[in-house]
Amino acid sequence: MGVAMGAAAGMAAGSALDVNNVRVGTDFIDDVQKVLVPPNVAVVAEVDEEWTTPVDTRMEAIGGNVFRRSLSEVRDKVDDEDMAAMKADLAQLKAELAKAHADRKAKLQEQVNQLDTKIQAQLQRAKEKRDAAQRKAQAKVQALKAKADTAKAKAS
């Protein structure tokens, strides 16, 4: 979220911006840019919030706007782009390998093997992140259930 809003602020102020390096969608940049025009300013923050209402209510009271992007959404996009790039590189290397002369094939095969190993490692990391996120979400659900049970018991 912070990178995106910072990028949008820079863009709105006329700074050059390479959207590919920001790793957020242009739709988000466009939304922020419509609102963030001079003399408006931006506060960029990374916030872990279980409830968006307090921030939204306070910002509305002072005439502000809140633009959010889930960090996992941004990370997932980055991971997807990285994976797509590696797969494209792998396809290109395999095409070159198919056309290569014998003296070049061993070198290309080694590059293919290394890239394939990177892709497999990336897939494993993504799986581990998904599993961790699922465990964290489940823990939050359990904590909320416990709070609800406690509140219910106090109300009785």
Asked, for residue 66, whether it belongs to a domain, the answer is: no
The amino acid at 143:
A
Structural domain ending residue among the three candidates 25, 42, 61: 61
40-58 pLDDT, tens digit each = 887 777 777 778 888 889 9
Asked, for residue 93, whether it belongs to a domain, the answer is: yes
Identify whether residues 75 and 129 lie together within a single domain. Answer: yes
Identify whether residues 89 and 138 lie together within a single domain. Answer: yes
Structural domain ending residue among the three candidates 61, 89, 112: 61
Residue 43: what pLDDT? 77
Tokens 């494993």 identify what position? Answer: 124
Residue 16: what pLDDT? 40
140-149 pLDDT, tens digit each = 888 888 888 8
Structural domain ending residue among the three candidates 19, 37, 61: 61
Q: What's the CA gap between 65 and 4, in Å, rounded?
A: 14
Identify whether residues 107 and 140 lie together within a single domain. Answer: yes
Angle at 155 between CA 149 and CA 156, to 5 degrees: 90
Residue 3: what pLDDT? 46
Angle at 37 between CA 34 and CA 39, to 5 degrees: 155
Asked, for residue 49, whether it belongs to a domain, the answer is: yes
- Domain range for 97 is 71-155
Residue 24: what pLDDT? 57
Identify whether residues 48 and 122 lie together within a single domain. Answer: no
Q: Low-confidence residues of the chain, pLDDT below 50?
A: 1-5, 11-22
Identify whether residues 57 and 75 lie together within a single domain. Answer: no
Q: What's the CA gap between 24 and 6, in Å, rounded?
A: 11
Domain count, the chain: 2
Residue 25: what pLDDT? 62
